[in-house]
Structure formats: structure tokens, C-alpha cells
Amino acid sequence: MRIIRSAIAAATVTALASCSSIGNLNPDALMQSGQLATQALALSDNDVRTLSDKSCTQMDSENTIAPASSPYTQRLNKIAKQLGDNINGVPVNYKVYLTKDVNAWAMANGCVRVYSGLMDLMNDDEVRGVVGHEMGHVALGHTKKAMQVAYATSAARSVVSASSGVLANLSSSQIGDLSEKFVNAQFSQSQETAADDYSFDTQKKKGYNPAGLVTAFQKLATIDGGQSSMLSSHPSSPARAKHIQDRIASGK
């Protein structure tokens, strides 16, 4: 919890410092920004799911979604059946974004999005491993913490943008800002390893070979000299591949 408090506080300070008008903020506005950081930390599971609903809707509106007839959608539907239709009881909604970007993410409301660029790069076993990893971030509570930090940053900016103080609700542009921050959220090494293990365990439990995780990491490492956005905040891909290989070898 201390790590999350620090991250939210840092996000709030960074957002305020980035605004050229910070010198014009009165003490009440600065106090409100602190209250927003506290509010972000206190977001409940339902609050986070509501924000996730708004963010996912915003992201869907900004991207081209593969139709039901698309081979991408048909592939993802097949993989979805292997991974399951819920995360901790929350129904999952799978869709493919038609883009050359290599990425995938999941939100606390069950919104799972996979980019066609990633599906072009990987086979079904590898995609299953990556999507299972993203679902692990949801199941293990990592996405809730990431949304809290994203909310704190977006909400803090409303102190400057609102002439009468803090906005009661996030505007459309702030939802867009929050969504971008969430999708680009950085997870800690321990969180990434835990999400890898979640994907491994889920696949083993359902009777699928988790070796696709290993080759998925190896392929991601080849993108832009290993500087793929999916790996920018992760442990090194060779280390992650070895961890999974060791688990496969041990049978545990």
C-alpha cells in the first residue's frame, strides 16, 4: 500500500508541475489536489470498474474494432474459449483492434483488447499466453492500482483546467487522458512475474501447454531492438522466458 500511495502522490505532483499555470493556483486548489489523490487511493472495486467502463468505451471509440466476420476475431474467440469467460467472476469482453501496434491489455471490468499487430506476430499459443498474462493483472488487483494512479493524474489536472475548482466529473478529454495512462501503465517486476505465473497456472489448469509464453517473450524482444512498449516496464524478456522454462522443466 505504501508503494501505491507514493505512486499516486508522485502522479499528482507531476501533473501539477507540468502545468504552466501552477503559480496561479490558490491554496484551496492545492488542497483539493491532495484530496483528489486521497480520493484516488480510496477508489473501490466498483469505482474502478466504472472508470474502466468509461475508459474502455473511450478506447473503443478511438480504434477500429475487427468485425465478427474477421479472421482476427475468430482467432481471438477460439483463444477466449480456452482462457474462460470471466476473471474472478467478472464477465470478460474480448475484442481485437485493427492496428499494426503490438499490444494487449485488460481492465477491471473484464474489457480485454488485443491488437492485430500482436496477433500477426504470434501464434495462438503465444497470444493465449500474453492475454492470460494481461488477465492476471486484473485477477491479482494490479489493474486496480494502475487505474488509481491514472485517475490521480487525470483528476489533478482538472484543478488547473476548471475555473471554479475541481470538476465534479471527469470530462471526455480527461477520460481519454486517463485511458492512455492506464494502457501505458508501468507494473513492477514482482507484478509482472506474478502475472506471468497466473498465465502459466491458468493454462496448466485448463490443460494447455504454457510454452507459448516463452516464445512470446522471445518474439517481443525482437521488436525495436527489445524496446517494445509491452516490455518497457517489464523484467527482461530472457529472464521471463527462463522463469517459465524453469517452471515447465520442474513441472510446477
Kindly report the number of other CB atoms within 10 A of residue 67's CB atom.
10
Lookup: cell for 145: 492500482
Q: Is it the case that residue 149 has pLDDT exceeding 50?
A: yes
- DSSP-derived letter for residue 149 is H
Mean pLDDT of 113-118: 97
Domain membership of residue 41 as a residue range: 2-250
The residues carrying an active-site annotation are 134
Q: What is the CA radius of gyration of the chain?
A: 19
Low-confidence winner among 159-168, 190-199, 207-216 (lowest mean pLDDT): 159-168
Report yes or no: 160 and 25 within 8 Å, Cβ to Cβ: yes
The reported pLDDT for the residue numbered 160 is 38
Task: Give the whole-angstrom CA distance, residue 208 versus residue 223.
Answer: 26
- DSSP-derived letter for residue 203 is H
Considering the chain, what percentage of its residues have pLDDT values greater than 70?
72
Task: Give the whole-angstrom CA distance, residue 243 versus residue 195.
Answer: 12
Cα–Cα nearest to 185, from 157, 146, 156 = 146
Task: Give the whole-angstrom CA distance, residue 182 versus residue 180.
Answer: 5
Mean pLDDT of 176-205: 90
Low-confidence winner among 43-47, 54-58, 130-134 (lowest mean pLDDT): 43-47
Listing DSSP states for 11-55 in one string gives HHHHHHHT-GGGGG--HHHHHHHHHHHHHHHT--HHHHHHHHHHH
Quick: pLDDT tens for 228-243.
556 555 567 788 888 8
The reported pLDDT for the residue numbered 231 is 54
User: How many domains is the chain partitioned into structurally?
Assistant: 1
pLDDT band at 128 (very low <50, low <70, confident <90, very high): very high
Mean pLDDT of 57-80: 97
* 45 compared with 69, residue with greater pLDDT: 69
Lookup: cell for 23: 503559480
Quick: pLDDT tens for 27-39.
444 334 456 566 6
Report yes or no: 22 and 46 within 8 Å, Cβ to Cβ: no
The reported pLDDT for the residue numbered 229 is 54
Helix ranges (H only) for 42-188 are 45-62, 71-83, 116-121, 124-139, 142-161, 172-183
Average pLDDT, the chain: 80
Number of H helices, E strands in the chain: 11, 5
Q: Is it the case that residue 17 has pLDDT exceeding 50?
A: no
The reported pLDDT for the residue numbered 36 is 58
* 209 compared with 1, residue with greater pLDDT: 209
Q: Is it the case that residue 138 has pLDDT exceeding 50?
A: yes
Lookup: cell for 77: 474467440
Instruction: Please give the torsion angle defined by the CA atoms of residues 179, 183, 189 and 193, in that order, rounded to the nearest 10 degrees.
Output: 120
6 CB-near residues (< 8 Å, 6+ apart): none
* 94 compared with 20, residue with greater pLDDT: 94
